[in-house]
Amino acid sequence: MPDAIPSTIQTPADLGRAIRERRQELGLLQADVAMQSGVSTPTVSAIENGKETARIGLVLQICRDLGILLTVER
């Protein structure tokens, strides 16, 4: 995995954008991520578009599957 570029995630849209960018870096289609993560393609699309009601468990699963490391700072 290339060196991480820190991003501040403050909204669902920020997280969705980060997920989309990583998916594209990996050369994957939304359908590829959906199949890998066990969700539907519309679910991946909704998450990438910052849908605020997306289930956090699904979002975290997709992050793990794409190699996105989330950290919490205080």
Tell me, what's the pLDDT at 37? Answer: 94
**What does the pLDDT read at residue 1?**
44
Give the residue, 10 or 4, on which the prediction is more confident: 10
pLDDT tens profile 6-62: 578 889 999 999 999 999 999 999 999 999 999 999 999 999 999 999 899 999 999
Full set of structural domains in the chain with CATH: 12-66 (1.10.260.40)
Q: Minimal CA–CA distance to 21: which of 59, 57, 68?
A: 68
Q: Which residue has the tokens 């359908």?
A: 31
- Which of 59, 54, 61, 68 is CA-nearest to residue 36? 61
CA separation for the pair 20, 74 (Å, rounded): 26
Tell me how long the chain is. Answer: 74
